[in-house]
Structure 1
Amino acid sequence: MQDETKFKKVDDSRILISELMLPSNSNFNGKIHGGYILNLMDQIAFACASKHSKTYCVTASVDTVDFLNPIEIGELVTMKASINYVGNTSMVVGIRVEAENIRTGEIKHCNSSYFTMVAKDDEGNSVEVPGLIINDKQGVRRFLKCLKRNDMKRLRRKEFKEKDFSPNDYLHILEAYKVKVAIP
């Protein structure tokens, strides 16, 4: 049996933050700027990963940020973050963003995303992270989905590395899209 001290429960590093959305964080359309939300998401991913690993962590990648619903000025945004997957030196932090109209109590799901964070030592070298103790079916589903996303990322990298995407080989495909190729 593996040493239990080298593993941590998902709940041990779960983070929840809430912030009232102010006019200073809005875009020209009067909605909360997506870049501001991404900044908050990066902060909570850092906090969650650092809490799990007990080290400084850096963002290695962000997988799929789809803005599902706009966030209004005056809404209370709540972000929930947990470790969904651990590798040797990396962790995937799942983040759910919800906005609540504090007058009506209506809550809407605004986005979910997955931040891959890497643990670092004081010299900037990657360091091993504790394993993950999963104690519910939702945690197992999240871990398995991370495995699938990792496989898909590897396949995509492999395909982009192997193909040169020469225009001569692909011009016929572009005919089905709203694009005009004007190569001299």
Structure 2
Amino acid sequence: MEFLSALFTAAFDSNVVFAQMVGMVAVFLLAFKPQDAVRFGLALWAATSISGLVGWPIFALFFEPWGIGYMAPIAYVLVSSIVVFLYGAVACTGKSEAARARIMTQCTLLAVNACVLAAPLGNAAAGEATTLAVATGSSIGAGLGAFIAVVLFATIRQRIDERLVPGALRGLPISLVTASLMCMAFSCVAGIAGGLFA
């Protein structure tokens, strides 16, 4: 039950993108087409989840006993960036030079965003006495929350008809208004999802 509570709390109640405002760059830069957003969001979800699955044992078995628990974010960040670049290396096999360069550029941007999302997970692990179930649920939930945020924002951005938006609000201003409304929507459900499994 604590796994499910941590998962839903991290995904909906304290969404790292909309509730904590971490990783908004990924939403604004890559949330143009829903198809691209789904691929990017899945890779971000996988990197964040694996960073929690591998980073927490590193923290619990090595950093905490040695008295250097404050280094937990480094473990999470390193694991998430390694996962992204391994994914990029696998995706580059059999591709042309231009395609490999494009994939590695996208992987660099993805690694930066995965590191930005992994740092709060490392700080949470260092600050709280959590179990493996809570750490795993939080990391998978944080990735799920980022995936939901990127895909929802891309879908809404695609559906906004730019012809009906006043000239002064076209482009970045309407994106900021949309993001603020989505942040308010996520704050309205705060406390509900995590309480389902208490």
TM-score (ref. length: structure 2):
0.29
TM-score (ref. length: structure 1):
0.30
Question: Which structure has the highest strand share of the two?
Answer: 1
The structure whose RCO (Cα within 8 Å, separation 6+) is larger is: 2
The higher radius of gyration belongs to 1
Question: Which structure has the highest helix share of the two?
Answer: 2
